[in-house]
Amino acid sequence: MKQKTNQITIVLTLCLILTSLGLNTISTKAVASRVYFSAISPDKTGYAIDETVNINIKYKWEGLTANQTVTIQLWNTTELMETLGTYTTPYNISGTLTPSGTQTIQYTPTSELTTETGSETYNIKMLSGGIVVDTENLIILVADSQTTMSITWQDQNNDRIIDKNELVTFTAYINWAFVETTEAHSLYVNYGDGDKLLSTVTVTAGSGSQTVTDSQGFNTEGAKTATFTLKDATGTTIKTSTAKLTVGTITQENPTPTTAQTSIIGIITNNWPIIVIIGAIATAGYIYLNPKRR
């Protein structure tokens, strides 16, 4: 009788084990319901002082069986700055069910994120029922305005020899970035006989470029200069660039830079604050992760 009881106990135990294994298999097959950030980024790689920041937030949801509303908050390192908004997953729209999906929404914070130059890290938090369910970093780079100007020239018959009274066409390439507000500038040229107003250059907010050309002949041989000066509305010099050339039967050494070369130089020059900041972050990270190397 005792032996039979033992057999029943073993069978029941096996049944329990098998049942729990079965339940585990079922529960791991079910997709956990969740809403989370799949990507967060500012709408620009760098901002001018006081420029408006837009934040692109991409949501994903999966395994939902009902609509889920989450609250999105902007935090600095220690405290809540503002609630950016709420987002309700469109699980059930007029009977069409989407248990998983993706949505991108842009938020414009009212908090001032661009008052100082440099790099600042913020946190974007997602809350559901008062509990933080996801957090992502948001890095905002703010840079001082940058303006570059380069000058190229081309003689009329393009043999790089400037004859007396041969017309030379000068081109000024002006590039700018991280400019706070649009402002009218003036471009002057001086061929050795005083400043001459060439053109108005509208330096637009953000980044941009403009080229200005002018032609000039020289009625004497020898060393000449063409100095281009960009001034703002108050008459303050923003940038000066000088082309040096020789009039007479001398082949000039410098080849004319192409527009492409100029723009690559411009890109590097215009983005140097970001390159420096990224380099500093990378170096700090390397030192932090490799303390034994110090």
Residues at the contact surface with Ca ion, assessed by CB under 5 A: 155, 157, 159, 161
Bridge partners of 72, per DSSP, are: 85, 126
Per DSSP, the residues of 39-94 read EEEESSSSB-TTPPP-EEEEEEEES-SS--EEEEEEE-SSSEEEEEEEEE--SEET
> Do 99 and 79 meet the contact criterion of CB atoms below 8 Å apart?
no
**Which of 121, 157 has the CB closer to Ca ion?**
157
**Which of 110, 220 has the CB closer to Ca ion?**
220
Nearest distance from C-beta of residue 156 to Ca ion, angstroms: 6
Nearest distance from C-beta of residue 271 to Ca ion, angstroms: 37
Nearest distance from C-beta of residue 113 to Ca ion, angstroms: 54
Find the Cα–Cα–Cα–Cα dihedral 242, 247, 252, 255, rounded to 10°. Answer: 50
Nearest distance from C-beta of residue 256 to Ca ion, angstroms: 12
Residue of closest CB approach to Ca ion: 155
**Which of 174, 245 has the CB closer to Ca ion?**
245
The helix, strand and coil proportions of the chain, stated in percent and rounded to the nearest 5, come to: 20, 50, 30
Q: Is the dihedral of CA 159, 160, 166, 172 positive or negative?
A: positive
Nearest distance from C-beta of residue 289 to Ca ion, angstroms: 59
**Which of 160, 239 has the CB closer to Ca ion?**
160
Query: What is the three-class DSSP state of 280?
Result: helix
Nearest distance from C-beta of residue 170 to Ca ion, angstroms: 14
Nearest distance from C-beta of residue 164 to Ca ion, angstroms: 10
Nearest distance from C-beta of residue 191 to Ca ion, angstroms: 17
Place of tokens 């002082």: 49
Nearest alpha carbon to residue 139 among 125, 116, 124, 122: 122
**Which of 76, 157 has the CB closer to Ca ion?**
157
**Which of 224, 231 has the CB closer to Ca ion?**
224
**Which of 255, 291 has the CB closer to Ca ion?**
255
Q: Is the dihedral of CA 180, 182, 184, 188 positive or negative?
A: positive
Cβ neighbors of 204 (< 8 A, separation 6 or more) are 176, 179, 182
How many angstroms separate the Cα of 54 from the Cα of each of 46, 51, 108, 110?
A: 12, 10, 5, 10
**Which of 38, 154 has the CB closer to Ca ion?**
154
Distance CA 210, CA 199 (A): 11
- Structure tokens, 126: 């997602």
